Structure 1
Amino acid sequence: MCYGVATAPRGYPRGVIRIGTSGWRYPEWRDGFYRGVPQRLWLSHLASHVGTIEINSSFYRLQPPAYYRKWAAETPEGFVFAVKGPKLVTHNKRLRHVEDVLKTFTDTLALGSKQGPVIWQLPPSLRFDAALVGDFLAMLPPGRHAFEPRHESFRTDAYFDLLRAHNVAHVVSDAPTFPCIEAVTADFAYIRLHGHDELYISSYDDEQIDEWARKIHDWDRDTYVYFDNTMHGAAPRNALSLMARSTSPARR
């Protein structure tokens, strides 16, 4: 489990808990969660069971607006997508000189009311630099944004204070290969569960699921949770298990 270094501020109303998976196009799920479901219906099938999904393809290359409109049309009323920011911003340019790329990326998003947070996943080699992070946060367009650093140097109040100043969520990430820093820095929380023991593989047991449900309950705000332990098909099972243990005033 994560170890907290910054407690969640109190005073926010209990929000909507949205739980889902990181992506949906996994051949490994074909004989399990997608058994008997044609590939063209995988998104709508998953979206009928969970309340949110992360779009991962946007990390690797810009997606045309028509794709976003298609995905939105295939999901039910009240569904929300998170969108992964392009690695051109985070990994290639490493947050520097990204104004034009940010605008181009933002202009492609065509999810309408189904637009959720944009997540910015940083490379493990990128260390915390207060000036660099502050400048990048100031450039972000309106909307909800979440920041997932993967270097231990981000475990500092200077980083948390920057996120709070811009109402950007720190991504609480559970994985065996990079730091799990538990900090809630915005009026919403964002969790990525990559597999506690084996990255992208291991399933979460009942005790671990219960612990995450307790944390979500205690944070008292809108919360987005994505299972990224996708390689052996655990993600949708774990998402449904956490949904059963979590409470929300709206559709999960």
Structure 2
Amino acid sequence: MGVIRLGTSSWADRQLLTSGWYPRSVRTPAGRLAHYASRFDLVEADTSFHAIPAPEITAAWASATPDGFTFDVKAFGLLTGHPTRLAALPSDLRPDGVDVTIRLRRRDLPEEAVEELWHRFHRALDPLDEADRLGTVVLAFPSWLAHGPAATRRVLDTVERCAHRPAAVELRHPSWFEGAQATETLRMLQQAGAAYVCVDTPLSPPPLLAVTAEPAMVRFHAHEPGSKELTYSDQELKDWAARLHHLSADAGELHVLMNTCCAGQAQRDGERLAEFLATATPRRGLRAV
């Protein structure tokens, strides 16, 4: 049975800060992160999806957390194919004379600029790596990226750009997992040494649970489309706890991230899931490669 690490996909989003989950006495960014780390041993840093943080920022994250705490860091969105505001790019990499409010795609930049973005992203990871806080790089590809030869090359190239660091690949388009293609997709990720990200979301069918590399990963986005609370019932979390225990038997480490993004609901659901994980019985019938 592998180690299960549990956390949420943010520790400082605006709704969380006003939800009352943090004590009133916790007022600083470092204090909030330290408090979060007293409740969970894993977090996904998602601010890096919107802009590459400075190494000084990630060094401060490491300093605010105890030994044994882990950051999974989401790759800068432009690097995984998402349209990105020009203003989010470092000023010296922005094309001259272009409105900073527009959104660019990776193909809109010269290759040397893309290389420099990867270089700066890895520099941002260095302090976490050096402090033994870095878990995996989360490569969240756009939901419209359908399976095909060009898309496969893009995924594999992006995994390769992670160099020696673990990578976890999130593919949302259903074509990657339709019929026999599911096995091919998992085999592709396994051969590339990348973890497959299992995602529970209202916009997708029930997730295929599999391990292709470590750390394995499951991300929760709730399941009720249109729900204001985006929460999980106790029974659903109990069922998931059993599935997670069984999945962890195929991985030395399993990362579980709650991302319900609704005024502290992720943290509350995560705390309840932690209770059920402590008493769960593994559920049979899962698939691993």
Question: Which interval holds the TM-score relative to the shorter structure?
Answer: 0.7 to 0.9
Task: Name the counterpart of 1:54.
Answer: 44
Task: Name the counterpart of 1:9.
Answer: none
Provide, for residues 131-176 of structure 1, a one-character-per-residue CA deviation record: whole Å limited to 9, x for no partner. 3323333333112211111101111222211110122111111111
Structure number with greater CO (CA < 8 Å, separation at least 6) is: 1
Provide, for residues 222-245 of structure 1, a one-character-per-residue CA deviation record: whole Å limited to 9, x for no partner. 111111112232111111111122
Task: Name the counterpart of 1:136.
Answer: 158
Structure 1: any 5+ residue segments left out of the alignment?
A: 1-13
Instruction: Find out whether 1:151 has 2:164 as its counterpart.
Output: no
| Distance in 2 separating the partners of 1:218 and 1:120 | 25
Once the two structures are superposed, the pairs formed by residues 1-252 of structure 1 within 5 Å of their partners are: 14-29=1-16, 30-40=18-28, 41-90=31-80, 91=82, 92-93=105-106, 98-109=114-125, 110-111=127-128, 112-128=131-147, 129-155=151-177, 156=181, 157-182=183-208, 183-198=210-225, 201-219=229-247, 220=249, 221=251, 222-247=253-278
| Distance in 1 separating the partners of 2:197 and 2:215 | 10
**1:36–1:218 CA distance, 2 compared to 1 (3 A):** same
CA apart distance, 1:57: 0.7
CA apart distance, 1:37: 3.6
Q: Say which one has the larger Rg.
A: 2
| Distance in 1 separating the partners of 2:206 and 2:174 | 9
**1:201–1:147 CA distance, 2 compared to 1 (3 A):** farther
SS of alignment partner, residue 101 of structure 1: helix
CA apart distance, 1:74: 0.7
TM normalised by structure 2 equals 0.75
The residue type paired with residue 143 of structure 1 is R
The residue type paired with residue 165 of structure 1 is Q
Give aligned pairs, total. Answer: 234
Identity level (%): 30
SS of alignment partner, residue 231 of structure 1: coil
| Distance in 2 separating the partners of 1:188 and 1:214 | 18
The residue type paired with residue 151 of structure 1 is H
Any runs of at least 4 consecutive aligned residues in structure 1 with deviations exceeding 6 A, and if so which?
none
CA apart distance, 1:247: 4.7
The residue type paired with residue 213 of structure 2 is A
The residue type paired with residue 187 of structure 1 is E
Could you say what the CA RMSD is over the residues aligned between the two structures, in angstroms?
Answer: 2.2
TM normalised by structure 1 equals 0.85
